[in-house]
Amino acid sequence: MTVTPPTSVVGTAGHVDHGKSTLVKALTGIDPDRLREEKEREMTIDLGFAWLTLPSGRRVSMIDVPGHERFIRNMLAGVGGFDAALLVIAADEGPMPQTREHLAILDLLEIRQGIVAITKRDLVEPDWLELVMNETIELLQGTTLEGAPLIPVSAITGEGLAELIQTLDTLLATLPPHPADGKPRLAVDRVFTIAGFGTVVTGTLRDGPLSVGQEIEILPAGKRGRIRGLQRHREKVEHASPGARTAVNISGIAVEEISRGDVLTIPGWLTPTQRIDARIRLLADAPAILEQDDEVMLFIGTSETLAQLTLLDAEKLTPGDTGWVQLRLRKPVVAVRGDRFILRRPSPSATLGGGVVVDAHPPRHRRFHPATIATLELLARGEPVELVRHALAEEPRDVATLTRQLTLHEHHVADALEVLQAQGEIIALVSPTPHTPTLYLQREALEAWRSRLVALLADYHQQYPLRRGMPKEAARSQLEIAPRAFDALVATFAGMGAIVDDGDVLRLPTHAIQLTPQQEAAAQRLLAALHETPYTPPSPSTLGVDPELVNALIELGYIVRVDEDIVFPTDVMQEIEQTVLTLIDANNGLTLAQFRDHFNTSRKYAQAVLEYLDRKRVTRRVGDVRVRYAQPQS
Ligand code: GDP
């Protein structure tokens, strides 16, 4: 087995013409500009724009970032898998506007590791250099790069380059390794084809590994394909671990079906979103304030979209402010809780601030709603146990749903459930069938559902004392809950003895149909009237009998309903059924007319009874005659 060396991603930042490309070339021996040209001619599937091996053996992908927008995208693509920034400031000019803006972006993205290269050392006197260095130290104050090492270098004389490489090696060695046990994500920054190989995408791989042969999905389109090949720093690899720029050769997806801004990941994990809850911060020198419904450009991953702001806890955000917002996106993006993003003013284009995704699939929120803010604060803390507890506060969910909604690893969800179940805070519901996944719910929520359902049934029994119970579907729609969750709740409450699951209806264990003395008397009168002309029974409605009482007598088994308004006493119907079978056996079948004549009834009753017996599968109709249902066709 080959041991793959640790990898890191380092991006340059700084004002134009301060020597970024020259420095990358001096460090790596690779001219990033030449590579860029090569890529435009689609001759190579190279990955980092440049790369080098540090003295310790660590491999570094260098991302050299010339243009501004491009810079943001590349920084974002790397964040998470991004290890350090190399801020470049020319000794002769010192910090310039773009230096400040890039630094602000690094700060917003919370990139905490960095080195400042003071380039063009050969052009200035030592006292000028000292001045620029002091100015730089001041500039870094209060940012994530405060206290970063400053190293004067010259690409012309080579001065300081060895020290820069050593410092980079030391810095990267102190960082914890990339978390690699997660699900892989690669924000696509380039897509192209290579003759004979097909579609290739490149980007920085984060969170989890990719392997040749693996099935992948391209989002937001949801196209599926398979990894045909992987490359890193121009070497073919079978497996790519997170934390380096990676080229992925894909089969099954055409180059036109993928574009920059897409995300490559494993199938069935992430769902694109057009609404994001976030904590944002405006730069102290942001060129504008933000108000309700303002439009901003959102840069997240390698994608960008217009977004409208809902300010959840402020009338407006002024420079330097932080606030809770909901972003309504013009087009879908892929986002995961914890992802960082940048907000820019659409025009004239300028960085306003940035933030972190707290919920990638939120519902719509009301503004200035304390419970919403409390929830967002909880989500921002992001402990799996807290998240799982919160997600189970209202509706029951299974492990797969929790994993997907919270974008946690499945084992984190499983661990959290174990802890919460041990503490008695979360209850596993009874599965209505052996193959439905177990649903979980907070104990209090379960109690709340139970009280609601019990109250609902008690109400129902009160309103319809003559009914056996409440139809299940009516109960479910009253509770406004999904069928799967409802079934699990019913199974759980039935198991607890709180309710009785009685086929198509639910009831309380204490409920039984009870007739009042008046209803009892009315029932006796009805039965007597029915028995008086047993084969032409009067209809209950013409007798003025309460339909509820009729239903109750059916439930109680005193009468049977054969048609809308035709009922028979149960004993009479049993006798008819027996006689019909006897007649069928004697005459080799029974016609409607024969039935009518035998019982001395009318066609209406004859037809209703025979159809009822057909439905009951006592008889079956063959042409004009009824035969026994089970009787083979002669
Ligand atoms: P970028 O726009 O930041 O990538 O800057 P470049 O790398 O293209 O460099 C801008 C100019 O500065 C080029 O003409 C370089 O030759 C020059 N330059 C870069 N580094 C040095 C240096 O260390 N010393 C001197 N004298 N010139 C440099």
The pLDDT tens digits for 94-126 are 999 889 988 998 999 888 899 999 999 999 999
Supply the pLDDT for residue 38: 53
Q: What is the pLDDT of residue 509?
A: 94
Question: Up-side HSE of residue 119: CA atoms within 13 Å toward CB?
Answer: 23
Query: How far is 116 from 133, CA to CA, in rounded Å?
Result: 10
Amino acid 263: pLDDT? 96
**Angle made by CA atoms 337, 343, 346, in degrees to the nearest 5:** 140
246 to each of 49, 70, 240, 540, how far by Cα in Å? 11, 18, 7, 80
Paired residues of 78 in beta bridges = none
The model's pLDDT over 198-238, given as tens digits with 9 standing for 90+, comes to 899 998 898 889 999 999 999 999 999 999 999 987 788 99
pLDDT band at 163 (very low <50, low <70, confident <90, very high): very high
Q: What b/e string do you get for 169-179 counting C-beta neighbours within 10 Å, with b at 16 or more?
A: bebbeeeeebe
Average pLDDT over residues 266-283: 92
Give the list of residues 6+ apart from residue 138 with CB closer than 8 angstroms, or none: none
Q: Which atom of ligand 1 is nearest to the CA of 14?
A: 3
Q: How large a percentage of the chain has pLDDT more than 70?
A: 94
Taking a C-beta distance cutoff of 8 angstroms, is the pair 432, 396 a contact? no
Closest C-alpha to ligand 1, atom 16: 22
Atom 20 of ligand 1, residue of closest alpha carbon: 19
Rounded-to-integer distance, Cα 9 and Cα 56, Å: 15
Angle at 477 between CA 471 and CA 479, to 5 degrees: 105
pLDDT of amino acid 344: 93
Measured from the CB, is residue 155 less than 6 Å from ligand 1? yes
Would you state the pLDDT for residue 46?
A: 46
Confidence (pLDDT) at 84: 92
pLDDT at 35: 58
Residue whose CB lies within 8 A of the most ligand 1 atoms, among 16, 17, 132, for a mutation test: 17
Ligand 1, atom 6, lies closest to the CA of: 19
Note if the pTM is more than 0.85: no
CB 119 near ligand 1, within 6 Å: yes
Give 473's pLDDT tier (boundaries 50, 70, 90): very high
Helix (H/G/I), strand (E/B), else coil: 292: coil
Q: How many whole angstroms from 162 Cα to the centroid of ligand 1? A: 18
pLDDT value for 244: 83
- pLDDT above 70: residue 151: yes
What pLDDT, in 10s, does the model give residues 419-459?
888 788 899 999 988 888 999 999 999 999 999 999 999 99
- Indicate which residue's Cα is closest to atom 10 of ligand 1: 17
pLDDT, averaged across the chain: 90
pLDDT of residue 42: 44
Please give the number of the atom of ligand 1 that sits closest to the Cα of 119.
23
pLDDT band at 183 (very low <50, low <70, confident <90, very high): confident
Nearest atom, ligand 1, residue 18 CA: 3
pLDDT at residue number 410:
78
- Beta-ladder partners of 290: 317
Residues with Cβ within 8 Å of 21's Cβ and at least 6 positions away in sequence, in order, are: 31, 32, 33, 64, 66
| CA-wise closest residue to 76 among 349, 319, 298 | 298
Digit-coded pLDDT (tens) for 296-305 = 999 998 899 9
What is the pLDDT, as a whole number, of residue 292? Answer: 97
Q: Is the pLDDT of residue 133 over 90?
A: yes
Does any ligand 1 atom lie closer than 6 A to the CB of residue 67?
no
**Spacing of C-alpha 60 from chain mean position:** 33
Is the model more confident about 477 or about 338? 477
Contacts made by residues 304-311, CB under 8 angstroms, sequence distance 24+ = 304/69, 304/73, 304/261, 305/329, 305/330, 305/331, 305/333, 306/330, 306/346, 307/276, 307/343, 310/365, 310/367, 311/367
Cα-to-chain-centroid distance, residue 537: 61
Average pLDDT over residues 133-146: 96
Residue with tokens 């009951």: 616
The three-state DSSP-derived secondary structure of 562-576 is EECCEEEEHHHHHHH
- pLDDT range class, residue 553, cuts 50, 70, 90: very high
Residue 31 pLDDT exceeds 80:
no
% of the chain at pLDDT higher than 90: 65
Rounded to an integer, what distance in angstroms lies between the CA atom of residue 574 and that of residue 286?
87
| pLDDT for res 407 | 73
If you measure from the C-alpha of residue 301 to the centroid of ligand 1, how many angstroms do you get, rounded to a whole number? 30
Query: What is residue 40's predicted lDDT score, i.e. its pLDDT?
Result: 54
Nearest CA to ligand 1 atom 27: 120
The verdict on the CB of residue 543 being under 6 Å from ligand 1 is: no
Nearest-CA residue for ligand 1 atom 9 is 19
Please indicate whether residue 66 or residue 313 has the higher confidence score (pLDDT). Answer: 313
State if residue 154 touches ligand 1 by the CB under 6 angstroms criterion.
yes
Would the pLDDT of 4 be above 80? no
CA of 451 to the centre of ligand 1 (A): 74
Q: Is the CB of 16 under 6 A from ligand 1?
A: yes
Query: Where would I find the beta strands (DSSP E) of 377-463?
Result: 426-428, 440-442
Instruction: For ligand 1, say whether the CB of 33 is within 6 Å of any of its atoms.
Output: no
Distance 191 CA to ligand 1 centre (A): 30
Residue 122 DSSP class:
G
d(CA 318, CA 297): 17
